[in-house]
Structure 1
């Protein structure tokens, strides 16, 4: 039986996946602002943040033959905490600092020592801001909704 502080491997991976989804949609400034409230652990860069290109593939209709659509710029980084956890960060665009911060957050989410603090001080505020932004956009789109009604003639 697991103690309250322990999680199954599936639970850890789900927590990590959820955190990465939030971090991917946040801006570098938002992540930096949230990380400023945490005492960052000692860490080293395994892979210095760098920019590169990836090939974007597409499919016609979602199930057709794949084709090369074009290239997209990405930034990536990898860090290791002093306690051994390794984090990876990828982001579209040329924001190396954001990739480094995502990698650091990824490593900290995997750490039993830092996971709770990262969740409450970084991931949760970013998630709330993301949901608020999505709700606002949905409300703005709903305000422009037009319903069309058709009248059916009673003749044959």
Structure 2
């Protein structure tokens, strides 16, 4: 079985897996469902940890570097799967998704496991991670453009004799 600690031994850098986890958790359930239903030769999926929701404490730092403080709680859903069959050695995938979305967490864990399977990695990157990441970048750029259009520049006029 391939675990997170062993992923580097299979040619997957920790930064690459972190990037994939970010993209999968930020994708919509509909996008992941469509990609999974179109996946040829789906491996056998066994849930080691069925999707379950829980709370985490979100912490912040003043100025990004100062003392920590508790910002509030957030709901997250996690899942862990084991994939086997169709030429894939047993691989384990894990996901954490913000909110209470068990199906989303399960699909993200499946694609995480496929990413760890050396024979599937290139396909997962080309057909899943990169298209989803491009779509997320477009949505982010659009949201930033919308926000920029509402920016108000404040200025002050110095008054004489005051």
The verdict on a shared fold, with TM-score over 0.5 as the criterion, is yes
Rounded to whole Å, the distance in 2 between the matches of 1:14 and 1:70 is 27
RMSD, matched Cα: 2.7
Gaps of 5+ in 2: 1-6
Rounded to whole Å, the distance in 2 between the matches of 1:12 and 1:31 is 23
Structure 1 match to 2:120: 114
Give 1:11 shift.
Answer: 4.2
Give 1:69 shift.
Answer: 3.3
Normalised TM-score (structure 2): 0.77
Normalised TM-score (structure 1): 0.80
Rounded to whole Å, the distance in 1 between the matches of 2:69 and 2:145 is 36
Q: Does 1:104 align with 2:106?
A: no
**C-alpha contact (below 8 Å) 2:51/2:106 kept by paired residues:** yes
Gaps of 5+ in 1: 1-6
Query: Which runs of structure 2 are paired with 1:123-142 in the superposition (5 Å)?
Result: 123-142=129-148
How many residue pairs end up in the alignment?
148
Give 1:149 shift.
Answer: 6.4
Structure 2 match to 1:3: none
**C-alpha contact (below 8 Å) 2:80/2:92 kept by paired residues:** yes
SS at match of 1:116: helix
SS at match of 1:84: strand
Query: Which runs of structure 2 are paired with 1:2-81 in the superposition (5 Å)?
Result: 9=9, 11-39=12-40, 40-62=42-64, 63-64=66-67, 66-81=68-83
